[in-house]
Amino acid sequence: MKTQSKIIVIAASLILILSFFFPIWYIDLEAPQYPEGIGLEIWLNKIAGQKPNDLANINGLNHYIGMKEINPDAIPEMKIMPFIIIFLIVFGLISGISGKRSLVYIWIVLFFVVAAVGLYDFYMWEYDYGHNLNPHAAIKIPGMAYQPPLIGSKMLLNFNAISMPPIGLYILVAAIVLAVLAIIIDKKSKKKNA
């Protein structure tokens, strides 16, 4: 690879460091009894309320409809994801420094595999929380499930659940776009020199 493409791959790898400092997903709940809304922020290594009491409030609401408590310490993905991102950073740096296009291709494929598995896992996590309800819950509505959408909005009783990616996910997307751009630039420069 040419020097310019190597630098872009190295930059793409280093950008991933920023994903530790921003949430990668959020779920907002809007309802008349919560005019300011309540919500969750999902980070690589934690789940937190958007405001100090939001997680406790959501767990309190979930208790009435039979959903399990959201306990970030009980979610193994929160412990695994930081190591996966660190691996992607290191592998990307090795790919960029070595200048081997084949390693960059492998890095891009690994990135897409991690993203696909991550989205599937998140969907299944939402599905489990929204469908596996306590049959002895105070509020039971036959046939009702409380799974928030993977992306977009959905009415759950009187709550509008909005699930969207914030800046953390865009950081991940920027890294992969830069890696693809590095490959394109390198291929074009090789054609010019051929």
Residue 43's pLDDT is 93
- The pLDDT of 164-184, averaged and rounded, is 93
| pLDDT of 191 strictly over 80 | no
Residue 158's pLDDT is 85
- The pLDDT of 108-121, averaged and rounded, is 93
Q: In b/e form, how buried is each residue of 88-123, taking b as 16+ CB within 10 angstroms? A: bbebbbebbeeeebebbeebbeebeebeeebeeebe
Determine the 3-state secondary structure of 8 from DSSP.
helix
Question: Would you give the DSSP letter of residue 74?
Answer: G
Rounded CA-CA distance 81/129 in Å is 20
Determine the 3-state secondary structure of 14 from DSSP.
helix
Residue 194's pLDDT is 57
Rounded CA-CA distance 166/127 in Å is 21
Residue 153's pLDDT is 93
**Residue 117 pLDDT class (50, 70, 90 cuts):** very high
Q: In b/e form, how buried is each residue of 134-164, taking b as 16+ CB within 10 angstroms? A: eeeeeeeeeeeebbbeeeeeeebeebebbbe
Rounded CA-CA distance 180/8 in Å is 9
| pLDDT of 171 strictly over 90 | yes
Task: Give the pTM.
Answer: 0.85
| pLDDT of 176 strictly over 90 | yes
- The pLDDT of 100-125, averaged and rounded, is 93
Residue 190's pLDDT is 73
Mean pLDDT of the chain, nearest integer: 90
Residue 10's pLDDT is 95
Determine the 3-state secondary structure of 52 from DSSP.
coil
Rounded CA-CA distance 177/12 in Å is 8
Q: State pLDDT tens for residues 21-35.
A: 999 999 999 988 888
Burial of residue 32 (CB within 10 Å: 0-12, 13-18, 19+) is: exposed
**Residue 193 pLDDT class (50, 70, 90 cuts):** low
- The pLDDT of 49-59, averaged and rounded, is 91
Which residue in 177, 185, 14 sits closest to 95, CA to CA? Answer: 14
Q: State pLDDT tens for residues 122-149.
A: 999 889 988 888 888 888 888 788 888 9
**Residue 61 pLDDT class (50, 70, 90 cuts):** confident
| pLDDT of 44 strictly over 70 | yes
Which residue in 141, 140, 155, 116 sits closest to 29, CA to CA? Answer: 155
